[in-house]
Amino acid sequence: MSAIFFFKMMHDRQKRKEHQGQGYLSLNDFKKGKRRSMVKRSINSLKTFFSSKKDIKSRS
């Protein structure tokens, strides 16, 4: 479970890297509040991830 969670986090980080073209958020991005939207986005992806896992469990 934790391994899957860790893998998903790494995968999301990799996708974000490719999307932004840069590995890390700059200080200005932090000041602009991009971090807040990123946290929201990650929480949403976690919600969908866990709900999809529940769906898989209920189907089988």
- Tens digits of pLDDT across the chain (60 residues): 577 777 787 777 766 655 554 545 566 666 666 667 767 888 788 888 888 777 767 765
The residue type of 31 is K
What's the count of helices (H) and strands (E) in the chain, helices before strands?
Answer: 3, 0
Per-residue confidence (pLDDT) for residue 14, from 0 to 100: 66
- How many CB atoms neighbour CB 9 within 10 A? 13
DSSP state, residue 48: H
Q: What local confidence, expressed as pLDDT, does residue 23 receive?
A: 46
3-state secondary structure of 40: helix
CA pseudo-torsion sign 12, 14, 20, 23: positive
